[in-house]
Structure 1
Amino acid sequence: MTQQDPKLQLEQYIAMKVKRTRVEQGLKIMDVARIAGLSQGMVSKIENAQVSTSLDTLSRLCDAIGLTISKLFSDYDRPEGGAQLTKSGQGMEVVRRGTEKGHTYQLLSYHRGKKKTYEPFLISMDDAAEVFPTFSHPGQEFIYMLEGKILYRHGNHLYEMGPGDSLSFDAEVPHGPEQLIEVPIRLLSVIHYDDEH
């Protein structure tokens, strides 16, 4: 049998949760058995996943150790998870217009699914004398200043930004750095794409 029997998994989960709670409460098996009106053997078998128990028995046992049925099952079918961690300095460096001028773009997350929904970049700029290209692309963009000061253009508007400032805008409208006021500059840029992207 390649896959574990789900019934066995459930019994093992209940056993682990019941035993852990009983021990945390400082209760002995004989005390729990007496309070729940169960035999010590039955409590022991439940804690060792050796028996399938009725809901009535399980409810009495949970009452005895101060554990609600909802709390008992709160973690049972929680999804496995699997977030993508990108350690500092380990984002994938990507080429964008401006990279040859001392800009670095680190892509912090690489979406592996069917559809790209967002792209987060850590952007560094360190030459205050540069002339900048403007950008225009699908989606919404959010930028958050981490370090330095910048004059940022969006369409016909200019925004002076420093550490802690953020700006969000329609990325189809031409945008980009107008002037680097204080270098080095580091900013976080997150581009969110619409459903059709």
Structure 2
Amino acid sequence: MKDDVEKQPRLKLEQYIGMQIRRQRQAQDLKITDVARIARISQGMLSKIENAQVSTSLETLSRLCDVLGMPMSKLFSQYDQQGGGALLVKADEGMEVVRRGTEKGHTYHLLNHTRGPKKNFEAYMVSMDDASEEFPTFSHPGTEFIHLLQGELIYRHGNQLYPMQAGDSLTFDGEVPHGPEKLVQVPIRLLSIMNYGQD
């Protein structure tokens, strides 16, 4: 049985996304130049996305899905179903996405890909290597859980400050403004899970 698994290697997310976008574009007989223009990206970038040569932001993927008339949930739905009902994301293979704070030297890797109208949670691995003095403030629906894996920081939630060291966890209401107040010891790696609940 192990040999059967090895004969059918799982596509990396970038490969799967590129394949889905290319298939959808070709099925509608759309030229790559036209799709890129309407999605407001360069033809070269779209070519790189289709050929899995680059990771791209969820915002760009959302625009591409709009152009192709494909819900974002459909883009990821079959990827989640490959090989059963579980989703394995290997170390360092989470899709890098752009969120507020990226320009401050923070990187976000999405560890799950169940997005769209029925998404109920998102999980990110967040890395912060630059002890910048300014930090973005976040606010979003649902509950957020963060677990600090490496480093030391002071985290703000509303008017409260929470000193955190490696191994510490914090759970809070996502609608209250929150974010890092001070990076005490870098590099910092933390797991962030946002639970949106059920409609």
TM-score normalised by L of structure 1: 0.57
Contact 2:153–2:183 under 8 Å retained in 1: yes
Q: Summarize the Cα distance change of 1:98–1:113 in structure 2 as closer, same or farther, 3 Å threshold.
A: closer
Contact 2:145–2:169 under 8 Å retained in 1: yes
- Equivalent in 162, 167, 191 of residue 194 of structure 2: 191
- Equivalent in 96, 100, 112 of residue 97 of structure 1: 100
> Match for residue 148 of structure 2?
145
**Is 1:174 aligned to 2:184, yes or no?**
no
What is the CA-CA distance between 1:114 and the residue it aligns to? Answer: 5.1
Matches of 1:160 and 1:112, distance apart in 2: 32
Matches of 1:112 and 1:123, distance apart in 2: 18
**Secondary structure, aligned partner of 2:103:** helix
> Match for residue 84 of structure 1?
87
Aligned letter for 2:161?
A: L
- Equivalent in 117, 122, 125 of residue 120 of structure 2: 117
Please list every run of 5 or more consecutive structure 2 residues that lacks an aligned counterpart in the other structure. Answer: 1-82
Aligned letter for 2:127?
A: S
Matches of 2:175 and 2:147, distance apart in 1: 19
**Is 1:164 aligned to 2:159, yes or no?**
no
Aligned letter for 2:88?
A: L
1:85-107 superposed Cα distances (whole Å, 9 cap, x missing partner): 00000001111111011100000
Q: How does 1:10-25 map to 2 (within 5 A)?
A: none
Matches of 1:94 and 1:149, distance apart in 2: 23
**Secondary structure, aligned partner of 1:105:** strand
Aligned letter for 1:193?
A: Y
Q: Summarize the Cα distance change of 1:177–1:195 in structure 2 as closer, same or farther, 3 Å threshold.
A: same
TM-score normalised by L of structure 2: 0.56
Moved over 4 A (4+): none
Question: How much is the aligned-residue C-alpha RMSD, in angstroms?
Answer: 1.5
Contact 2:104–2:135 under 8 Å retained in 1: no
What is the CA-CA distance between 1:130 and the residue it aligns to? Answer: 3.2
User: How many residues are matched?
Assistant: 117
